[in-house]
Amino acid sequence: MILVTGGAGFIGSNFVLDWLAVGDEPIVNLDLLTYAGNLDNLASLEDDARHLFVRGDIGDGDLLARLFATHQPRAVVNLAAESHVDRSIHGPAEFIQTNIVGTFRLLEATRAYWGGLAGARREAFRFLHVSTDEVYGSLAPGAPAFAESHRYEPNSPYSASKAASDHLVRAYHHTYGLPVLTTNCSNNYGPYHFPEKLIPLVIHNALAGRTLPIYGDGMQVRDWLYVKDHCSAIRRVLEAGRLGETYNVGGWNEQPNLEVVGTICRILDQLRPRADGLAYFSQVAFVQDRPGHDRRYAIDATRIERELGWRPAETFASGIQKTVQWYLDHPEWVENVTSGAYREWIGRHYAAGAPA
Distance CA 25, CA 74 (A): 10
Kindly report the length of the chain.
356
Determine the Cα–Cα distance for residues 134 and 86; give it in Å rounded to an integer. Answer: 13
Q: Do 27 and 16 contact (CB within 8 A), yes or no?
A: yes
Q: By CB neighbour count within 10 A (0-12 exposed, 13-18 middle, 19+ buried), where does 22 fall?
A: exposed
The DSSP call for residue 96 is: I
Instruction: Let me know: does 155 contact 138? Beta carbons within 8 Å.
Output: yes
Residue type, 17: L
In DSSP terms, which residues pair with 296 in a beta bridge? 221
- DSSP assignment, residue 161? H
Contact between residue 246 and residue 183 where contact means Cβ atoms under 8 Å apart: yes
* End-to-end Cα distance, the chain: 16
Q: What angle do CA 290, 296, 302 make, to 5 degrees?
A: 145
Active site residues: 133-134, 158
CB atoms within 10 A of CB 192: 24
Question: Parallel, antiparallel, or unpaired for β 221-226 and 254-256?
Answer: antiparallel
